[in-house]
Amino acid sequence: MSKQTVRICHLYPDLLNLYGDRGNIICLRQRLAWRGIEAEVIEVPVGTKADLTQCDMIFIGGGQDFEQEVLLPDLRSGKDRELKAAIEDGKTILAICGGYQMLGSYYETWDGVRCDFIHAIDYYTVGSKKRMIGNFAFECLPESGGSKVVGFENHSGKTYLGSGVQPLGKILTGGGNNGEDGGEGVRYHNVFGTYSHGPILPKNSELCDFILQTALSDRMELEPLDDSAERMAHDAMLKKITQGS
Ligand code: GLN
């Protein structure tokens, strides 16, 4: 692989792509291109195989309860073991909503269907009849860069992290993991799990570069970009969400 090509594995692009989650791939590709770095995106739909060890990072979007159930047989045909190994090996993964839930132990829908997931990280999700819906904001913990993130959530699932597992951030406004403990998402090794659609990366360039740099830490140092327009849009949205103006 050339030093200037970054390989991104897009897992289940056919099933997990809610609210423009695919825009995260476009954003990663563009922010790399602005630095003269090429991105090779390897799409891994249901029924196909991929060698996760060959990519720099993995992206998994969100999906409804139905899609999460549909992909279970494929997940169990080997991708579960591959994903677990990649996570323990320190692979950088960004996983959104349904994709985030999938890396935990299970998701029990509000009407009692249980999706047994991959048990890679100690958390579980239970569905509630009352969905958490709307624009929301959170502040990443310092180990995940400390930036303030704006996004959009729409989930029935309430996620509860195990006692040794850290969230990605703390809620500023909105529901996040469960609407109860103030946590949002997960950070485990180099896994960034979040309920934030949006898509999250174009709206939050600081977090995007933090995740990219995590993925590329032993290959290259990313040059800063002129993000003045992105920052203005981000700051205006953050103000609107947190202060209502
Ligand atoms: N189906 C899951 C839930 O409602 C995830 C939804 C999503 O990815 N937005 O909790």
| pLDDT for position 1 | 45
Residue-wise pLDDT for 106-143, tens only, equals 999 999 999 999 999 999 999 999 999 999 999 999 99
Pocket probe mutation, ligand 1, options 19, 65, 106, max atoms within 8 Å of Cβ = 65
Domain ranges, residue 55: 4-243
Return d(Cα 127, Cα 25) in angstroms, integer. 28
In this structure, the residues whose C-beta lies within 6 A of any atom of ligand 1 are 18, 62-65, 68, 97-98, 154-157
Strand, coil or helix: 94: strand
Indicate yes or no: pTM above 0.85: yes
Q: Which atom of ligand 1 lies closest to the CA of 64?
A: 1
Question: Are the beta carbons of 135 and 120 closer than 8 angstroms?
Answer: no
Mutate to test the pocket of ligand 1, among 64, 66, 152, 196 (most ligand atoms within 8 A of CB): 64
Name the domain count of the chain: 1
Active site residues: 97, 197
Q: Rg for the chain (alpha carbons), in Å? A: 17
Atom of ligand 1 nearest to the CA of 19: 9
90 Rama class: left (phi>0) / alpha (psi -120 to 50) / beta: left
Look up tokens 């979007």; give the residue.
61
Helix/strand/coil percent split, the chain, to 5: 30, 30, 35
Alpha-carbon distance of 43 to 46, in angstroms, equals 10
The predicted-structure confidence for 150-183, as pLDDT tens digits, reads as follows 999 999 999 999 999 999 999 999 999 999 999 9
Q: How far is the CA of 166 from the centre of ligand 1 (A)?
A: 21
| 108 Cα: distance to centroid of ligand 1 (angstroms) | 11
Positive or negative: CA dihedral 174, 180, 185, 187:
positive
How much distance in Å is there from the Cα of 164 to the middle of ligand 1? Answer: 24
For range 205-215, the mean pLDDT: 98
60 CA from centroid of ligand 1 (Å): 13
Amino acid type, 221: E
For the record, the structure tokens of 225 come out as 């970009």
CATH of the domain at 21: 3.40.50.880
Residue 3 has pLDDT above 70, yes or no: no
First-last CA distance in the chain: 48
User: What's the CA-to-centroid distance between 214 and ligand 1, angstroms?
Assistant: 26
Atom of ligand 1 nearest to the CA of 63: 8
Max Cα-Cα span within the chain: 49
Q: Which atom of ligand 1 is nearest to the CA of 68?
A: 1
DSSP, collapsed to helix, strand or coil, labels residue 231 as: helix
